[in-house]
Amino acid sequence: MPTTQRLHFDHNAGAPVLEAALDAAVAAARAGGNPSSVHAEGRAARGRIETACEEVALLAGVAPARVVFTSGATEANVTALTPRLTVGRDEIVVDRLLVGATEHPSVLSGGRFPPDRVERLPVDGDGVLRLDRLGERLERATHDGEQVMVAVQLANSETGVIQPVAEIARLVRAAGGFSHCDAVQGAGRLRLDDPGLDVDTMALSAHKIGGLPGTGALILRNPEVLPAALIPGSQEANRRGGTHATPGIAAFGVAAAQARRHLREIAYVSELRDWLEAELRSISSNANVFGAAARRIANTSMIAVPGVSAETAVIAFDLEGVAISAGSACSSGKVGPSHVAEAMGLPADVVRSGLRISIGPGTTREEAERFVAVWARVMGRLARK
């Protein structure tokens, strides 16, 4: 085993927990108190939640009343993806859910829509949603009198490819439909408070930005649109049941504040990512960078060296003290090709070789240089087999 400190180049699976976020969680856990109680301990817990709510709201560009805390982004996605909506004072039934072919599994599964009412929208060779195909499908829905919802992520967790969410939301709204955005990988890397992101709902996750696992949020960007509750109850203004996870929510608030500050460091992260890609391609001349021609979030590279098994390479890197992945953390532990790479139409040998490298604002040039040295050793061994 290596004697030097391990390198965490898998931020998209989970960013290192911020010390300040951990301190906030510990303080909340030690203080105790049910935020629904009226005594002093309960009021203190409620105060922690309200503070966190304000920070998450600032990150998402909404009023605090539009933040619904959940157990994570998966719950937020499933809550949003329901055929039952309240729009103003009206109850609306959505006929069809359209999802991008490279979405997170919780979106691909359709949430609470019956399987026969879920359709996948194709992407191009770089993983960008085909706007022409979306437009055609929306026109058909309008002609047939169908009410549709469209779910598209802001940035892909494997390739980092950014979707044209503003344009997608405009098309959907013009067709009288509803839109949801899984913005998990965009937090701290893109401006989530951009008015152009005119979606109805949005999902966030705490542990992707330095908070604790088990906490997320459903953002109601359109105050007129409210999905039917997944967990009925009196919490979160009757939008979600269950006692608040105060420690995790407190940590989420700290992480959300830090994510906004991280936007100032994106240029550094982008330059380091580009340098890394250039160095790795100089070592592995036949390497392919997924989505290289598309806009990508600054911290992410998905690189394949044909002939080198991704699963084998991940193990080899781990033994060298480096954490990377073979794709999304929700699926990379399972045997089988990446649905993202397959949807992009990449050759089978490239699909089998894809390695995701994701860094953060705290990644140093020295760490990047160490990673390059490990890459040279690992690929030198594996590429000869």
- Residues classed as catalytic: 330
Identify the helix (H) or strand (E) that includes residue 168. helix 165-174
Residue 382's identity, in one-letter code, is: L
Q: What is the DSSP track for 225-287?
A: EEEPPSS-SSHHHHTS-S---HHHHHHHHHHHHHHHHHGGGHHHHHHHHHHHHHHHHHHSTT-
Radius of gyration in angstroms for the set of CA atoms belonging to the chain, rounded to a whole number: 21
Q: Which two three-digit tokens encode residue 271?
A: 């330059």
Residue 26's identity, in one-letter code, is: V
Residue 277's identity, in one-letter code, is: E
Closest CA to 117 of 134, 96, 99, 144: 96
Query: Could you give the CA distance from residue 276 to residue 143 in angstroms, rounded to a whole number?
Result: 49
Beta strand residue intervals within 264-360, DSSP E:
288-289, 300-304, 322-323, 354-358
